[in-house]
Amino acid sequence: MPPDAFDRIVAEIKRVNANGFIVIGGGSPIGLAKAAAATTGIPYIAVVTTYSGSEMAARWYIGVADNRIDGQGAAALPATAIYDPELTLDLPPAVSAASGMNAMAHAVESLYGIDTNPVVQSLAEEAVRLLGASLPRVVRNPRDLAARTDALYAAWLAGNFRAKVGLEHAIAQRVRQWFNLDHARTHAIATPYAVGFNAASAPEAMARIRRALGANQAAGGLYDLNVTLGLPTGFKDIGLKESDVDKAVDVVSAVKISHPRPVSKVDLHNVIGQAYAGRPPRF
Q: Do residues 185 and 275 make contact, with C-beta atoms less than 8 angstroms apart?
A: no
pLDDT in the model for residue 259:
83
**Averaged pLDDT, 219-231:** 98
Q: How confident is the model at residue 44 (pLDDT cuts 50, 70, 90)?
A: very high
Q: Which of 56-60, 157-161, 174-178, 269-273 has the highest mean pLDDT?
A: 269-273
Q: Across all residues in the chain, what is the average pLDDT?
A: 94
Residue 65 predicted with pLDDT over 80? no
Please tell me whether residues 126 and 168 are part of one structural domain. yes
Note the pLDDT of residue 258: 83
Name the pLDDT band for 31 (thresholds 50, 70, 90): very high
Average pLDDT over every residue of 52-67: 82
pLDDT at 1 over 70: no
Question: Is there a single domain that holds both residue 99 and residue 79?
Answer: no
Say what angle helices 27-40 and 183-198 make with each other, to 10 degrees.
100
pLDDT at 151 over 90: yes
Q: What's the number of domains the chain is made of?
A: 2
Chain centroid, CA 18 distance in Å: 31
Do 176 and 220 fall within a single domain?
Answer: yes
Question: Does residue 282 form part of some domain?
Answer: no
One domain for residues 238 and 269: yes
Domain span including residue 258: 92-277
CA gap 255, 224 in Å, rounded = 28
CB 220 within 8 A of CB 280: yes
pLDDT higher than threshold 80 for residue 67: no
| Cβ neighbours, 10 Å, residue 145 | 12
